[in-house]
Structure 1
Amino acid sequence: MPFFSIAIDRIQPSPTLAVTRRALELKAAGHDVIGLGAGEPDFDTPDFVKEAAIAAIRAGQTKYTAVDGTPELKDAIRAKFLRDNGLTYGADQITVNSGGKHTIFNAMIATLDPGDEVVIPAPYWVSYPDIVLLAGATPVIVPCGSEAAYKMTPEQLDAAITPQTKWLIFNSPSNPTGAAYTRAELRAIADVLVRHPHVWILADDMYEHIVYDGFEFATLAQVEPALYERTLTVNGASKAYAMTGWRIGFAGGPAPLIKAIAKIQSQSTSNPCSISMAATVAALNGDQSFLIERNAAFKVRRDLVVAGLNAIPGLHCPTPEGAFYVYPDCAGLIGRKTPEGKVLTDDEAVTAYLLDSEGVAVVQGAAFGGSPAFRISYATSDALLTEACKRIARAVDRLG
């Protein structure tokens, strides 16, 4: 009898974490490595958020809480959804979890059975398909190439939906591409979903506050109220508030689904960290003006990297509307030879070459279901990004 479950063989370890780990190992061994794989802001958690956590510790808020979030945090989340998205939820429609990944995991485990299908536009965040597979269901991948600015068309969505479709997982702005859907584009997607009332929507809005050039964020349940009763709107503290390590994700959705998520959580992690929840109350309720300053810094970095990459023959890098990633198409490098005579057969070979030859760690597009390409996180200093672009240019220049 096998010791490990069938489910564990359906999934792979996170490729983005693997790249980060490899970069850290090389650095520890004394190599000069620029790590552009990690999907987290380099900014520190705001001081007023840290002070709220310290105050919570001193006040003894270190005990178990309600399994899916404190009343104070649920109230702050409800206020956030109303303020930012025009969505009204009751306390029984809010779930708080140990990160956005945990929110998505709970929702999929609570709702999916073998035979169910989940539509996922690609390139996608690496964990979406594996969570679906772990739940025993089938990911249905919709390829969206650079020629379409990495966005799914309504026609593609309509063609992907079958009677077995249970969910659409929809991420805007996107990890890994930074592509964000305009209100008009969301309206067209929503029109398809209205025609398929058996399909639920998981709207992953984690990068909501990181947008550029006057882009106006909207979410599907906001654009089409008819979708409200079958949409789980997911967000969290990680990206906008630079709180990746605090591990707080949350969502608003129909009360029966929220209750099912709480049931799963009651038999797995129980409540999220009480101190992290107190800090997130402060983050959501506090002064949001720091987001403007940080977005301005991110925009400078985005423009620097897009210009640098597009100056390199063989790379094509669309300008993203949001998040802190670029996703250059590297089709022009496939088939070329390294100085050692090795043929670059795919984007994994390209990223390995960049790391080995110039110490630049990026993530291959295959990890996100969109090849040939690679993801760069520009959540680091201007100086490091400038140096990374120079190194990539040198590496490409040496190809035969």
Structure 2
Amino acid sequence: MDLANRVKTLTPSSTLAITAKAKELKSQGYDVIGLGVGEPDFNTPEFIIEAAADAMKQGQTKYTPAGGIPELKKAIAKKFDSDNDLTYSASEIIVTTGAKHALYTLFQVLLNDGDEVIVPAPYWVSYPEQVKLAGGKPVMVQADEKNSFKLTPEQLKDSITSKTKAVIINSPSNPTGMMYTEDELKKLGEVCLNHNILIISDEIYEKLIYTNDKHVSIASFSDQLKDQTVIINGVSKSHAMTGWRIGYAAGPEKIIKAMTSLASHSTSNPTSIAQYAALAAYQADGDANKEMRKVFSERLELLYSLLNDIPGIQCIKPKGAFYLFPNVSEAAESNGFDSVDEWVKALLEEEKVALVPGSGFGSPDNVRLSYATSTEALQEAAKRIKRFVVNHQS
């Protein structure tokens, strides 16, 4: 039996592919260092785990409202108020089975066949695939590495057509770790307002910033921008809760209502126990991820320094997330490879270091390295990469 056309257009995830290959080599007994993973290597804080256990003991194991339990929506609204200077009602928030599901559901209710979504490259691998699954057309716009991989207002304006429905802004970014400044966001917002373009603001890494720069949500600049923005966020990165699968979206009531209706026919509701765990995460006093952020900051400094000491590798220092996105095209060429993808494949086979090729993120000259692993692993990985590059110098 033939498959649906919608899945025939999907591009396999480069992240999952490299992870699968690394696992295969590990199973064969090789000492593989995987720098492809996109999740914190910390366990979920104990108080959150205990909250989940308490919820189960108290019988919170039944269906919940499709859009999330009222208590969690209230906590999310409080978080928006305190962290982002934004006011949302419960009807403007939907809790989803991870931030990825929030995005997927949004595209499903937003796009008709042929509608265009502007996707700045480098981009997270699922953005274009989810747009295609909704019948839309992802319009990739290459952000210049000299501009820290950030979309400019001029690029945005030039990419808008009569079919443009939305633009995705991801700050801090996966895969680059770069952040838009307040001024940059305001200028992008002006373009969107002038052309009636919905802004999809993916802010999942807002709590993982290692400079004095403050995360600012584009929706906070004016009521007009708030009415034209859907914010995507969740607890996966901020509270080391990737496996709990709790994300959320906040935006215009009409859109959130449609997303909730669709969710009621797809997932019924996010896992009840995970919702109560997320509730505990947001009700906690203090900075729940302070230690994790401190460790990530130290690892960033270490790996950034080590990478820039390798011939043919140039790296812009990121401000957030937990990725580095160096340009390795010079190293790949001097090592005799036709592409960075081939270079990454050979590195894994010879030195057993798994990186994610940038081609999967729309940037074929780069690779993504996650520093969500131990200091020892990062040092050993950099040592192996340098050895590989030096040994292959022509």
TM, length-normalised to structure 2 = 0.98
Q: Could you tell me which residue of structure 1 aligns to residue 379 of structure 2?
A: 386
- State how far apart, in whole Å, the 2-side matches of 1:196 and 1:327 are: 32
SS for the counterpart of 1:147 is helix
Letter matched to residue 146 of structure 1: E
Question: Is this contact kept in 1: 2:239–2:288, CA < 8 A?
Answer: no
- State how far apart, in whole Å, the 1-side matches of 2:2 and 2:261 are: 27
- State how far apart, in whole Å, the 1-side matches of 2:120 and 2:382 are: 28
- State how far apart, in whole Å, the 1-side matches of 2:343 and 2:307 are: 14
Letter matched to residue 346 of structure 1: S
Q: Could you tell me which residue of structure 1 aligns to residue 46 of structure 2?
A: 47
Structure 1 runs, 4 residues or longer, greater than 4 Å off: none
> How much is the aligned-residue C-alpha RMSD, in angstroms?
1.1
- State how far apart, in whole Å, the 2-side matches of 1:322 and 1:140 are: 25
- Is residue 284 of structure 2 the alignment partner of residue 286 of structure 1? yes
5+ residue gaps, structure 2, are none
Distance apart, 1:145 and its partner CA: 3.0
Q: Could you tell me which residue of structure 2 aligns to residue 372 of structure 1?
A: 365
Map residues 1-400 of structure 1 onto 2, 5 A cutoff.
3-197=2-196, 199-337=197-335, 343-399=336-392, 400=394
- State how far apart, in whole Å, the 2-side matches of 1:154 and 1:224 are: 18
- State how far apart, in whole Å, the 2-side matches of 1:102 and 1:347 are: 31
Distance apart, 1:266 and its partner CA: 1.2
- State how far apart, in whole Å, the 2-side matches of 1:331 and 1:361 are: 17
Letter matched to residue 321 of structure 2: A
Distance apart, 1:5 and its partner CA: 0.8
- State how far apart, in whole Å, the 2-side matches of 1:288 and 1:191 are: 35
Q: CA deviation digits over 1:204-245, x for unaligned, max 9? A: 000000001211100110134321112111100100100000
Q: CA deviation digits over 1:19-56, x for unaligned, max 9? A: 22221121111011001101000011011111100000
Q: CA deviation digits over 1:111-134, x for unaligned, max 9? A: 111120000100000000000011
Letter matched to residue 272 of structure 2: S
Q: Could you tell me which residue of structure 2 aligns to residue 340 of structure 1?
A: none
Question: Please, which moves more after superposition, 12-21 or 81-90?
Answer: 12-21
Letter matched to residue 292 of structure 1: K
Paired residues, what number? 393
Q: CA deviation digits over 1:324-382, x for unaligned, max 9? A: 00000012023334xxxxx4111211110111111110100000001211000000111
Over the matched positions of the two proteins, sequence identity in percent amounts to 45
- State how far apart, in whole Å, the 1-side matches of 2:27 and 2:284 are: 38
SS for the counterpart of 1:334 is helix
- State how far apart, in whole Å, the 2-side matches of 1:287 and 1:303 are: 29
Letter matched to residue 392 of structure 1: I
Distance apart, 1:287 and its partner CA: 2.6
Question: Please, which moves more after superposition, 316-325 or 14-23?
Answer: 14-23
5+ residue gaps, structure 1, are 338-342
Question: Is this contact kept in 1: 2:173–2:179, CA < 8 A?
Answer: yes
- State how far apart, in whole Å, the 2-side matches of 1:76 and 1:29 are: 46
- State how far apart, in whole Å, the 2-side matches of 1:87 and 1:253 are: 11
Question: Is this contact kept in 2: 1:50–1:279, CA < 8 A?
Answer: yes
- State how far apart, in whole Å, the 2-side matches of 1:12 and 1:193 are: 29
